[in-house]
Amino acid sequence: MTSVIEIPPRIEKIKIKNFRVLRDVTFEGLTPLTVLLGPNGSGKSTFFDVFAFLSDCFSEGLRRAIGKRGHGLKDLRSRDSSGPISFEIAYREGHVRGQTQPPLITYYLEIDEDGGRPVVAREWMRWRRNKKVGNPFQFLTYERGQGSVITGELPEREDLRVERALAGPDVLAVSTLGNLAENPRVKALREFITDWHLSHLSSQDMRGIPEGGPQERLSKSGDNLVNVIEYLHERHPDRLEVIFQALRRRIPQIETVIPQPLPTGQLLLMVKDAPFSEGVQARYASDGTMKLLAYLVQLHDPNPAPMIGIEEPENFLHPKLLRELAEECQQATAHSQLIVTTHSPFFINALAPRQVWAISRDQSGYTVNRQVSTMAGIQTMLDSGAVLGDLWMEGYFEIGNP
């Protein structure tokens, strides 16, 4: 019997305007694994925060998303700039391999202020189901809480457009209408964005002793790592063994990791090296071991997030492990899209030029970007035996060299 292979949703393009140093940048032709490479201060973390900001807008609301990052839109708007902040994302929904590829859906969000208060100035979704007929049309259109949507599984231009007022001008239409079964395309976008997982792993947080009890997904900081291992041990032991096998391949002296319950109801994570009969507490394991274990747990999630963001994986990891982590990320694209920011040449040595974007700041202080595959001479040098990380370190990229 042939197994069904699910292709996850994929972002193909994102355009950002007026968001901090990202005054006007477009990333078109994003791959299932996309890596941003650049020196400190080039805008990598800001790009990463775009996804976190959008996810916060959908799950917590516009005002709270802005409040987590400052005291108003002025703290998010590009310096010496005025006007709205906008994001445009073009993506395809998930589908079964072998079936017709879903049409490209574009989502646009524009945020501005009225009387000092943030508002959703414009928000729309559009698509074109038939590539050969007509222009894309908007099946959701909203401005400041007022607008309309075409309901149904396959909204067409000729279908009935329904006017629906939102609770206020700062409410996202997709957040509200995406809760209604009658809007499956809007619902799919809402679920896609709210299910993004963006990690800022902290070795210190992972060394803590949390309250007992299994948890299905790793937190952003990794402070519930032991709880997730407990969940995998109870519900997905085969998947946990895959994780341990990968860990042993990368760090051969590690034999296993054991969640050990305490009389207080808390959990203690024990790491056992192969030569010894007993394990040691995770707080005594190396930072690199803990971070690699957390990344493997994240990448082998039995219920994976559709998009996973990893920021600067090189922190605390041995350079040799970075190439191997990149290989694990490549494998994880079978079920998730991955966005990684880094300034490590070792991580990109395992990648193709089309997977890597170099970014830097121009003379005006704003971020500029180039896909490495579009840079003159790079592929020729790779064909001659060079590796991508060395070319970057030696200054062969057109922008973003260290």
Helix (H) or strand (E) holding 297: helix 287-299
Predicted confidence at residue 57, as pLDDT, reads 96
How many residues does this entry show for the chain? Answer: 402
Structure confidence at residue 133 (pLDDT) = 61
Sign of torsion, CA 261 264 269 273?
A: negative
DSSP state of 238: H
pLDDT truncated to tens, each residue of the chain (402 aa)?
456 778 899 999 999 999 999 999 999 999 999 999 998 889 999 999 999 999 999 999 999 999 999 888 999 999 999 999 999 999 999 988 878 889 999 999 999 999 889 999 999 999 987 665 668 899 999 999 999 999 988 888 888 889 999 999 999 999 999 988 889 999 999 999 999 999 888 878 887 778 878 899 999 999 998 889 889 989 999 998 899 889 888 888 887 777 778 887 777 778 887 777 777 777 777 888 889 999 999 999 999 999 999 999 998 888 888 999 999 999 999 999 999 999 999 999 999 999 999 999 999 999 999 999 999 999 999 999 999 999 999 999 999 888
Q: What one-letter code names the amino acid at 90?
A: A
The arrangement of strands across the sheet holding 146-150 comes to 22-28, 10-19, 85-92, 105-114, 117-127, 137-143, 146-150, 161-163
- Do 259 and 230 meet the contact criterion of CB atoms below 8 Å apart? yes
Half-sphere CA count of 141, side-chain side, radius 13 A = 10
- Residue 19 near residue 6 (C-beta atoms within 8 A): no
**Tokens, residue 195:** 């299910």
Give, as one character, the DSSP assignment of residue 211: B
| Cα–Cα dist 79/60, whole Å | 26
pLDDT at site 71: 86
For the chain, counts of helices (H) and of strands (E)? 12, 19
**pLDDT at position 384:** 95
CB of 11 within 8 A of CB of 30? yes
pTM for this structure?
Answer: 0.92
